[in-house]
Amino acid sequence: MDPKSNNLNDFLEESVLLDESQYQEGFKDGYKDGLVSGKEEGREVGLNAGFQVGEELGFYQGCVDVWNSAMQIDPDAFTSRVRKNIAQLKTLIDAFPLLEPENENVQEMMDSIRLKFRVVCANLRVRLEYEGQPNSLNKDSEDM
């Protein structure tokens, strides 16, 4: 056994071990902080997304409520086709799983609601929108 080489190895081993343990400590600290910060960010993103969905659905619900009130005052205010569409819209809104954001059908259900809303608006000859309303279209360039 070479005492000199042993010393050399021990010397290096200490730095390597120190390096390792510092890394572990740093990682633990970073993970802890990241978890907290990630949760915060996640909560914020969730809040925004939830707000957007709630706002859009609330808008449609509000319109339906006004239309239903109008019909109570004057049952002949709208044609039977419009009445049927408003009723269908209400059913779709009621069926929307607000508390299940992970439900894989939510996009499809929202699309159906949006389409039904457009049919009602077209028949009432109105254009109803609110600021910040999500648009299903991209701003792509005009083609022929």
Partner 1 sequence: MELLDSSVDLQEVQKLEGHADRVWGLAWNPAPHNCGGASAMLASCSGDKTLRIWQMGPTHHLDCSTILEDTHTRTVRSCAWSPCGKFLATASFDSTTAIWKYVGGDFECVATLEGHENEVKSVTWSSSGTFLATCSRDKTVWIWEVQPGDEYDCVAVLQGHSQDVKMVQWHPLVDVLVSVSYDNSIKVWAEDGDSDDWHCVQTLNEGSSGHTSTVWSVAFNSSGDRMVTSSDDLTLKIWDTSSAISQTDTEGFASWRHICTLSGYHGRTIFSAHWSSEGVIASGAGDDALCLFVEEKGNSVEEPSYRLLLKKEKAHDMDINSVRWNPKDQRILASASDDGTIKIWELREIS
Tell me which residues touch partner 1 (CB under 8 A): 79, 81, 84, 111, 115, 118-119, 121-123, 125, 127, 135, 137, 142-143
By beta-carbon proximity to partner 1, the closer residue of 2 and 140 is 140
User: Which of 4, 139 has the CB closer to partner 1?
Assistant: 139
Minimum Å distance from CB 135 to partner 1?
8
Residue with token string 């005492």: 3
For the bound state, the minimum distance from the C-beta of residue 98 to partner 1, rounded and expressed in Å, comes to 23
Q: Helix, strand, coil proportions of the chain in percent (round to 5)?
A: 75, 0, 25
Residue 101 identity: P
Q: Which is nearer to partner 1, 102 or 129 (CB)?
A: 129
- Residue 51's nearest CA partner among 116, 118, 133, 127 is 133
Alpha-carbon gap, residue 112 to 106, rounded angstroms: 10
Minimum gap (Å) between residue 72 Cβ and partner 1? 23
